[in-house]
Amino acid sequence: MNSHVDVIVVGGGAMGSAAALSVTRKGKSVLLFEQFSDGHSLGASHGASRNFNTAYQEPEYLTLVSEARLLWDELAQETGVQLLDLVGLVNHGNLAALKRVRAMHEQYGIESSFLSAEEAMSRWPGMHFRGEALFVPNAGRVRAADALMALRQAAEARGAQFHYDHPVRSIDVLNDELVQVVTDEGSYTASRVIVTAGAWTKKLLGEQIDIPQLVVTQEQPAHFHAVDASMEWPSFNHSPDPAERADDYWYSHTYGMLTPGEGIKIGWHGVGAVVDPDARDFAPEPTQMAALRRYAREWFPGLDADTFVPISCTYTSTTTGDFVLDRCGPLVVGAGFSGHGFKFTPAIGRILADLCEGIHAPEIFRAHRAL
């Protein structure tokens, strides 16, 4: 293993893998260190499916998701691995917010349209709708596990070296062009170090780079059993209606999608208990799970709310919900992606590689902006 490379990436989930690929595309040498084994389920990148959702109001996110779509397609063509299932995504609940999203879609050339509740229920009988729903046909699911494999395959084909079960013990800035990274196997240096360590970001960086507070929570979505295997399932986002008292028991908005072979994934968003990522119990919180089952029973006639498998994952979030993509000296950090980051993965990788070369990320992602 080379002891000096152009760039070291610390953290081998989706964002770190995408960063490694983007750096190699610039002709640079890359070492990636991941503390756990390949395909582990201890962070935020595991699982078979994620939403590919374009229902954003902010220009920066709409620009980023449009780029990500092109890059997902490029990666799929390069590796021969299907990465997107464009089954469509339906958004419902807070109609005023959805109308703002629809207006932004018109500006950005994103196809979407409103369906009445009756039209939506006729098309997707496994779901219940109270009012109009915004449907985005060129959205759906990312095949998350396959995406990790494809990112690694493409990066290694360009010379990147991925090393799993290699926890990083320290990151020390020696000067503006040299960083030392120490693992149990040895000491390595690089001109730039990209840290994409999720819930372990602050533990690794300490006070070396001024980033906003990152809150780590243990989330607990679940896969519910579909009563009719022939039903069509779009991906979905559902916001509580502020005018409806019937939604008062909700913890947050919900999201979900079909995970082939596992069921329909449904989850609250960012409301789990704050945890130390090295001291998780992985157990579902009973009250939240009971509320999620109630939600499934009320809103999904096509599901059996009593037949479910809980999932445990971590969110690492900023207070604003915006990502952190920034650089301080030779250190580059990508953090705070939880809950809505996976769809952007290849575009995030491009930004992290650009940051290594002094190209700034959009202002909304700068560390001082997210405080």
Asked if residue 310 and residue 222 are part of one domain, the reply reads yes
pLDDT at 369 over 70: no
List the one residue out of 294, 330, 352 whose CA is nearest residue 172. 330
- Sole residue written with tokens 């039209």: 119
Mean pLDDT is lowest, of 25-29, 37-41, 141-145, 157-161, for: 37-41
Asked if residue 282 and residue 196 are part of one domain, the reply reads no
Q: In which order are the strands placed within the sheet that holds 140-143?
A: 49-52, 140-143, 84-85
Asked if residue 201 and residue 156 are part of one domain, the reply reads yes
Asked if residue 123 and residue 173 are part of one domain, the reply reads no
CATH of the domain at 341: 3.50.50.60
Asked if residue 338 and residue 279 are part of one domain, the reply reads no
Among 317, 336, 352, give the residue marking a domain's end: 317
DSSP state of 208: S
3-class SS of residue 148: helix
Q: Which domain holds residue 30?
A: 4-46+146-212+322-365
Residue 192 lies in a domain: yes
Residue 228 lies in a domain: yes
Tell me the helix, strand and coil percentages in the chain, rounded to 5: 30, 30, 40
Residue 371's pLDDT band (boundaries 50, 70, 90)? very low
Q: CA-to-CA distance for 317 and 212, rounded, in angstroms?
A: 10
Asked if residue 311 and residue 221 are part of one domain, the reply reads yes
Residue 90 lies in a domain: no
pLDDT digits (tens, 9 = 90+) for 276-298: 999 999 999 999 999 999 999 99
Q: CA-to-CA distance for 24 and 208, rounded, in angstroms?
A: 26
List the one residue out of 168, 212, 211, 158 whose CA is nearest residue 193. 168
Mean pLDDT across the stretch 256-262? Answer: 95
Helix (H) or strand (E) holding 274: strand 273-274
pLDDT at 20 over 70: yes
pLDDT at 368 over 70: no
pLDDT digits (tens, 9 = 90+) for 41-66: 888 888 899 999 999 999 999 999 99
Structurally, the chain folds into a number of domains equal to 2
CATH of the domain at 285: 3.30.9.10
pLDDT at 205 over 50: yes
Residue 101 lies in a domain: no
Asked if residue 266 and residue 190 are part of one domain, the reply reads no
**The pLDDT of residue 206:** 87
Q: CA-to-CA distance for 318 and 213, rounded, in angstroms?
A: 6
Assigned token pair, 149? 């494999």
Residue 335's pLDDT band (boundaries 50, 70, 90)? very high
Residue 348 lies in a domain: yes
Q: What's this model's pTM, rounded to 2 decimal places?
A: 0.95
Residue 76 lies in a domain: no
Asked if residue 241 and residue 122 are part of one domain, the reply reads yes
pLDDT at 370 over 60: no
Residue 248 lies in a domain: yes
Asked if residue 246 and residue 194 are part of one domain, the reply reads no
**The pLDDT of residue 117:** 98
**The pLDDT of residue 98:** 96
Mean pLDDT across the stretch 26-55? Answer: 91
For all residues of the chain together, what is the average pLDDT?
Answer: 94
Say which amino acid occupies 35.
Q
Asked if residue 329 and residue 309 are part of one domain, the reply reads no
Residue 243's pLDDT band (boundaries 50, 70, 90)? confident
What is the CB neighbour count within 10 angstroms for residue 243? 9
Asked if residue 192 and residue 238 are part of one domain, the reply reads no
3-class SS of residue 211: coil
Mean pLDDT across the stretch 251-274? Answer: 96
- Sole residue written with tokens 């500006």: 107
Residue 1's pLDDT band (boundaries 50, 70, 90)? low
**Percent of the chain whose pLDDT exceeds 70:** 98
Residue 199 lies in a domain: yes
Asked if residue 331 and residue 188 are part of one domain, the reply reads yes
